[in-house]
Structure 1
Amino acid sequence: MNPEVSDHSRPLRLFHLSDVHFGLEDPAAIAWAEQAIAREKPDAVAITGDLTMRARHHEFDAACAWIKGLKAPVTVEIGNHDIPYFNLYQRFFDPYRRFRAIERQVEAQLDLPGLAIVPLRTTTRAQWQRFPWSNGWVTDAALRETLAAIDALPQGTRVLVAAHHPLLERRARDNKLLTINGSRTMEILAGRKVMAVLSGHIHDAFDITEQTPSGPLRMIGAGTLSRRIRSTPPSFNEITITGEEIHVVARNLEHVPTAAMQIDEVPENALPPRQPGEPVAPVGAVPPVDPPVH
């Protein structure tokens, strides 16, 4: 039997988590997600950034201890909240030092039967184009590294790319810059026949297909497991891959249907309140402010 066909015939189940924000984590939500992973044993867990709220040592200690206790293969992307806010020397010269307790899982490629989850870094230490530096930038070096990993895979391997920021480069209603170099990145990934890009940053789930000059590219966003909710309760994505098909369920503590959990376009960021005209999921209202960070 052809092993490639056998690999593709077995459904794979992934849990896609994001924006846990230790420091403003939701204890009930993270316990629920941890228990689901232990009980259901997904093939892998992809965490697409923002483990912490302010990249403080105690936040990283709690985040790393939680991740090390998860009973599944895990890959962790770096979010904009995970780069030091207050220690500028460390931000510029050793920004990922506080990840060392889980360094083997940070931006780790996960190789599953017939499928690879490949990381794409979208965070930067600084951005000369704008301030603040919370939104995404796919640098040429980051893109080259991701493409090299994809091109090294055995022929026929299905690919998911994991990043923190959604790759939309411009906001549709006013052309405001979102993720620098996002359009080119989407076009290239579509040309590589990437199945989907997994991301976070927005705190509401989404499942959107963008058209590029090289074909369609699916973008799947996870919600948050923190108290920084937007228009939906805390959630994570359960992703089932069968052959070339992807099925997404936005699982949440309030048992809201997936269609009511997902927004239909990508807003600028996760800051409240959303601006008039920005997307809100059918399930709820946007809180006016974040909980206070101590």
Structure 2
Amino acid sequence: MTRFFHVSDVHFGREDRAAIDWFGARVKEEQPDAVIMTGDLTMQARAREFSAAAKWLQGLGRPVTVEVGNHDLPYFNLWARFVTPYKRYRALEQMIEKPLDVKGVAVVPLKTTARFQWRLNWSKGYVSTRALQESLALVEAVPTGGLVFVACHHPLVEGGTVATSQTRRGAEALDALAQAGADAVLTGHVHDPFDIEREAGGRTVRLIGAGTLSERVRAKPPSFNEITVVGASFSTRARFMGEGSVSL
């Protein structure tokens, strides 16, 4: 059996201190095989927010992969956004978009953020040709018989939550990833958990969204997902602060 803790949208700067302490305690006590963080570590991509996020993630003591969220790109400092958007990530460099291979499960990163888009709301998702090709190459390199989880910030298609991702080229990317062999796509952004099946690329793919550990809750309280893998099967349980849980 393999267990992953899937967490997202901590938003340091607007973090829920009790929630992140609770999550850290669960990691320390239960020792998951890896932690998958699907973006929005910070609220405004400030240096002090990244410093706090790095200290927290490093303190978990488990293998971690981190995706970049839209809040992790400088918004008000346009020079930093366009020229040095990832400078403040240096303390987390070894975790950012890091592929993982854990007991026959490959975790593959996919970038869904953009420095600029031809629409007013740059917080929404976008999959570039380059980002998709890089992820497809990683998926196709996974040995036959292993599970493949793709990790990105924005849901590629909508998951029925209050908030939306409106990811451009998301459906196209999902079809290509499924055809290449992806079994699930793990995301954040919408701050509410979900686990739905979608037919894509001639296969059934699971779309799994994590909630938030920030003060910016929506329909559900702070939570993270526990994903349990047994052989070729896996299940998802949303765990809410206060130790309530729901199988998704």
What TM-score does the superposition give when structure 1 sets the normalisation length?
0.80
SS in 2 for 1:24: coil
Question: Is 2:13–2:42's contact at 8 Å kept on the other side of the alignment?
Answer: yes
Aligned to 1:29: 19
Q: 1:231 to 1:170 in 2, by over 3 A?
A: closer
Aligned partners of 2:31, 2:130: CA distance in 1, in Å?
A: 35
Q: Does 1:139 align with 2:125?
A: no
Question: Is 1:233–1:254's contact at 8 Å kept on the other side of the alignment?
Answer: no
Structure 2 residue runs without a partner (length 5+): none
Aligned to 1:227: 215
Aligned partners of 2:30, 2:215: CA distance in 1, in Å?
A: 25
SS in 1 for 2:188: strand
Question: Is 1:197–1:220's contact at 8 Å kept on the other side of the alignment?
Answer: yes
Question: Is 1:169–1:181's contact at 8 Å kept on the other side of the alignment?
Answer: no
Question: Is 1:15–1:239's contact at 8 Å kept on the other side of the alignment?
Answer: yes
Question: Is 1:21–1:226's contact at 8 Å kept on the other side of the alignment?
Answer: yes
Q: 1:38 to 1:215 in 2, by over 3 A?
A: same
Identity of aligned residues (%): 51
Q: Does 1:61 align with 2:51?
A: yes
User: How far apart are residue 44 of structure 1 and its match?
Assistant: 0.3
Aligned partners of 2:91, 2:37: CA distance in 1, in Å?
A: 16
What amino acid is aligned across from residue 179 of structure 1 in structure 2? T
SS in 2 for 1:258: strand
1:108 is aligned, of 98, 102, 110, to: 98
SS in 2 for 1:38: helix
User: How far apart are residue 215 of structure 1 and its match?
Assistant: 2.2
Q: 1:29 to 1:74 in 2, by over 3 A?
A: same
1:77 is aligned, of 33, 50, 67, to: 67
1:157-176 correspondence runs (5 A): 157-168=146-157
Larger radius of gyration: 1
Structure 1 residue runs without a partner (length 5+): 1-10, 263-294
2:83 is aligned, of 87, 93, 96, to: 93
Aligned partners of 1:123, 1:214: CA distance in 2, in Å?
A: 27
What TM-score does the superposition give when structure 2 sets the normalisation length?
0.94
User: How far apart are residue 234 of structure 1 and its match?
Assistant: 0.3
Aligned partners of 1:117, 1:213: CA distance in 2, in Å?
A: 19
User: How far apart are residue 257 of structure 1 and its match?
Assistant: 3.8
Question: Is 2:140–2:181's contact at 8 Å kept on the other side of the alignment?
Answer: no
What amino acid is aligned across from residue 154 of structure 1 in structure 2? P
Aligned to 2:244: 256
1:186 is aligned, of 174, 186, 208, to: 174
User: How far apart are residue 112 of structure 1 and its match?
Assistant: 1.1
What amino acid is aligned across from residue 233 of structure 1 in structure 2? P
Aligned partners of 1:108, 1:170: CA distance in 2, in Å?
A: 25
Q: 1:177 to 1:32 in 2, by over 3 A?
A: closer
Aligned partners of 1:223, 1:108: CA distance in 2, in Å?
A: 21
Aligned to 2:144: 155
User: How far apart are residue 68 of structure 1 and its match?
Assistant: 1.2
Summarize deviations over 1:236-287 as a string: whole Å, max 9, x none. 001001112111111111333415xx6xxxxxxxxxxxxxxxxxxxxxxxxx
- The total of aligned residue pairs comes to 246
Aligned to 1:276: none
Q: Does 1:199 align with 2:187?
A: yes
